[in-house]
Chains A and B, each alone.
Chain A
Amino acid sequence: MSLKICTFEYMLSDHRGVGMRKNFFPRIVAEAFLESTRDGEISRSPDPVTMIDGDLTWNNNTPDVQMLAMQIHRGPRTVVAQSPGTVVIHDAFSHQIAISPQADFPSIMQDSSGGRLQIDRPSVARDAVLYGRFFFDTDDSTCWAPIGEIKPGFSLHFRYLAAVQTPGTWTIPSEFEPRWEAHARWTRLRAWAFPLGSL
């Protein structure tokens, strides 16, 4: 029989004793594994075309403030670009914290993987295009996105988007078979929660 003592932030006292509440420890509170729906050969796409799209929500149902950080873990990315074209896979994310959050559609920015090897000028004619092919492979990579403080009862809505785009010059050669590819494979989202500390 133990004495129940009075606790506040991040602690718990019950019939088994006194100790740290679960929300005191850094931990994964939500996770999502997203797969690409559009891997393979692509055609010209001046506007980004969605490859991976997904979201994650988490409600702070603990009695204390939690600090949240999102870990975005991308799979290996592959791009094949026929000269003079460019192929890139963009990553974008957005989030909102509210009682009933609804994050905006993630907008594409300077966060992309891929490129080009352009050996002809944009002015080249279809039948004069030189043969050049660009292969770009990356290993898996991780990015941390700090979300910040989530009060008890509040929720996070996190949205993620991977989209393929072919910005700039695009000439389809007529004298040989061109090839453009994009593989985004997968992305894993993990939401990590920490207690609020002091600076």
Chain B
Amino acid sequence: MTQPCVNPDHFEIVDGAIAPQPWMQLRTVATAQAGPKSVEYDSSGGGAKNELVYKLQTHWTNNTPMRQMVYGIVTNGGQQVTLQARSRAYLEYQHGFEISADGEDIPMVSVSPFGGGADIGQAGVLSVGTGFCVHDVRMNSTSHMFMPHITGWFPVEPGEKFNARVELWFKSENWENSMIDKGDQGTESLYRDAGTRLDLFAVPMLGEPIERSTPTVVGASSKIETDTTVAVSKPAGTVDGDFMIAVVGNASGNAGQVTLPAGWTLLDQYDGGFGVLHVKVATKSAGPTEPASYTFGHSGLPLSEGMAQIVTLRGVDAAVLPDVALQMTKPSLLFGGKNTMLPSIVSYNKLMIAFCFVNQFAGQIYQTPPPGMTEITDDQGDYNALSIAYQANPPIPTGLRAFKADRHVLIGDGRVSGVITVTGPVIEPT
């Protein structure tokens, strides 16, 4: 008997009979469970709580010949938070995922808290402690989506590994530790959690996956000025059709004084207010005739430095809006710190540009790009430093990585780090 003509990726034929391949359907591919856990605290003492209740992690490797779309459901068995008055605390879920990595350093995001607290209004000079009051809330078992803040499911290519992690934390906004009037008999401070289950599901994806090409870095230029403007030259090699990303910033005046030259589009900005950090990220598609330099605005206040840097990229699909995230790190007089963390974003774009703008009062700082990234620029003024690096085909999500300064960043307005991703056009099938 001749066998019907079928795609073996979709159907299997055993002894002449046909059936769908087991990966050609919605199915559970991985499961993890943790808990239950219950903790009671002394209700008239102790400090603020920020405790890991438990964590659960699982992974699934796409061992099929098809691209699979993965999603997860997190099911909690029920929760209870019971607190003495003035204490306010909650059980908080954090979720995180990583594709094709070891799954050991997954960036986590806060997803949803459950808890509460009460205050019975005991106050005044003679009321050092608080009165008796117990606030108790309980929540049924619930199921919620894994990574509920991200729309869509996660594409996992054949051979790729999808790591999923869920953590439950007990955190207090305020923890009452004074004496309770007439003693603490009958008071309670506790949480109970009936456990969590994480299920990962996969659904096959038909049709050819859409592939995009990876843009390349052409060149860069940088400039520091104490004048009211900063004129930075066009990066050498920039031609018609290239894509330019500018990072400009200062630590004086107002954000409105950091103006963009004509033809540039603001992508994102950090505005710390008058006299502190302002960082703008802008883009421009290079046309047939481009000037030799671009003039950005600056406050021009005495001793203040305005910085501007431009990176030219080739092979960028300008129709796809870049993904961008900026993050402010406050200065710490006591602890300083050499590392400035980058925000981690979920982006399917093919080229990642990351920068770190540092303001400090104690001399020049040299920065080393994060692990896996290649330095494009590293410019130093007397008070500001700006470094830009890139990486092709960054991990998803981009990960919590740090620019490292050559010494502690102590006094200053802080640092602004950012991630921008761009992608090339769709590769048409030949």
B18 in contact (CB, < 8 A): yes
Complex partner residue of A77 from B36, B140, B199, B202, CB under 8 angstroms: B140
The closest CB in chain B to the CB of A10 belongs to: B20
What chain A residues lie within 8 Å of B64 (beta carbons)? 198
Once the chains bind, are A110 and B78 in contact (CB under 8 Å)?
yes
Return the contact of A86 from the options B29, B30, B60, B136 (Cβ within 8 A): B136
Q: B77 within 8 Å of A by Cβ?
A: yes
B residues in contact with A11, CB < 8 Å: 18-20
**Is B138 touching A88 in the complex (CB atoms < 8 A)?**
yes
Which residues does chain B contribute within 8 Å of A109, judged by CB atoms?
77-78, 194
Interface pair B194/A194, CB less than 8 Å apart: no
B25 adjacent to A111 (CB under 8 Å): no
Q: Does B26 contact A (CB under 8 A)?
A: yes
Contact indicator A111/B132 (Cβ below 8 Å): no
Instruction: Tell me if A154 counts as interface (CB < 8 A to partner B).
Output: no
> A28 at the A/B interface (Cβ < 8 Å)?
no
The minimal Cβ–Cβ distance linking B64 to chain A, given in whole angstroms, is 8
Say whether B192 faces chain A, with CB atoms less than 8 Å apart: yes
**Does B36 lie within 8 Å of A67, measured CB to CB?**
no
A194–B197 Cα distance when bound, in Å, is 19
Q: Which of B28, B140, B194 contacts A141 (CB 8 A)?
A: B140
A143 to B192, CA, bound (A): 18
Q: From B16, B186, B192, B199, give the contact of A146 (CB < 8 A).
A: B199
A143 in contact with B27 (CB, 8 Å): no
B73 touches A144 (CB 8 A): yes
CA of A136 to CA of B192 in the docked complex: distance in angstroms? 18
Contact with B along A64-103 (1 / 0, CB 8 A): 0001000010100100000000101001000000000000
The smallest C-beta distance from A89 to any residue of chain B, in angstroms, reads 8
Partner of B132, one of A20, A91, A120, A196: A120
A57 to B202, CA, bound (A): 27
Residues of the B chain whose Cβ atoms lie less than 8 Å from the Cβ of A18: 4, 18
* Cβ A5 vs Cβ B4 within 8 A: yes
In the complex, are the beta carbons of B19 and A195 less than 8 A apart?
A: no
Decide if B138 touches A7 in the complex (CB within 8 Å). no
Residues in B neighbouring A196, C-beta threshold 8 A: 22, 27
Give the residue name and chain of the A residue nearest to B36 (CB). A110
Q: Does B400 contact A (CB under 8 A)?
A: no
Across the interface, which residues of A come within 8 angstroms of B20, CB to CB?
9-11, 20, 24, 195
Q: Is A179 an interface residue (CB 8 A)?
A: no
A11-B20, A119-B133 known; A142+B25 contact, CB < 8 A: no
Q: In the complex, what distance in Å separates the CA atom of A82 from the CA atom of B360?
A: 58
The answer to whether B27 and A195 touch across the interface, beta carbons within 8 angstroms, is yes
Interface hits, B15-73 → A, CB 8 Å: 16-20, 22-23, 25-30, 36, 60, 64, 73
Q: Is the CB of B139 within 8 A of A118?
A: no
Name the CB-closest residue of B to A72.
B141
| Given A24-B20, A110-B80, A141-B142, A117 and B133 contact (CB-CB distance below 8 Å) | yes
Q: Which residues of the other chain, A, contact B178 by a CB distance below 8 angstroms?
A: none
Contact among A24, A113, A120 with B140 in the assembled complex (CB-CB below 8 Å): A113
Instruction: Please give, as numbers and ranges, the residues of chain A lying within 8 Å of B78 by CB-CB distance.
Output: 91, 109-112
Asked whether A142 lies within 8 Å of B26 as measured between CB atoms, the reply is: no
CA distance A80 to B36 in the complex (A): 28
Q: Are B118 and A117 in contact (CB under 8 A)?
A: yes
Tell me whether A121 is interfacial, beta carbon within 8 Å.
yes
Known: A8-B17, A144-B73, A199-B30. A115 touches B22 (CB 8 A): no
Q: Which residue of A lies closest to B64 (CB)?
A: A198
List residues of A (108-144) whose CB comes within 8 Å of B's CBs.
Answer: 109-123, 136, 138, 141-144
Closest chain A CB from B142 CB (angstroms) = 5
From 134 to 155 in chain B, residues with beta carbon under 8 angstroms from any chain A beta carbon are 134-143
CB distance from A197 to the nearest CB of B (A): 3
| Per-residue interface assignment for chain A, residues 6 to 27, with 1 indicating a CB less than 8 Å from any chain B CB and 0 otherwise | 1111110000001010001010
Q: How far is the CA of A37 from the CA of B192 in the complex (A)?
A: 29
The answer to whether the Cβ of B14 comes within 8 Å of any Cβ in the partner chain is yes
- Assess the A121–B185 pair: CB atoms within 8 A: yes
Q: Does residue B254 face the partner (Cβ distance < 8 Å to A)?
A: no
Please indicate the chain B residues that have their CB under 8 angstroms from the CB of A138 in the complex. Answer: 139-140
B236 on interface, CB distance cutoff 8 Å: no
Q: How far is the CA of A115 from the CA of B185 in the complex (A)?
A: 20
Minimum CB distance partner of A122 in chain B: B186
B16: chain A residues within 8 A (beta carbon)? 6
Q: What are 7 sample pairs from A and B whose C-beta atoms fall under 8 A apart?
A: A5-B4, A20-B20, A88-B138, A91-B141, A110-B194, A121-B132, A197-B23
**Residues of A in contact with B (beta carbons under 8 Å apart):** 5-11, 18, 20, 24, 26, 67, 72, 74, 77, 86, 88, 91, 109-123, 136, 138, 141-146, 194-199
| New A-B contacts (16) at CB < 8 Å, excluding given A121-B132, A197-B25 | A8-B18, A10-B25, A11-B19, A11-B20, A18-B4, A26-B26, A77-B140, A110-B192, A115-B80, A118-B134, A120-B132, A141-B142, A143-B75, A194-B25, A195-B27, A199-B60
By Cβ-Cβ distance, the 6 closest A-B pairs, closest first, are A197-B27, A198-B22, A111-B78, A110-B194, A115-B136, A115-B137
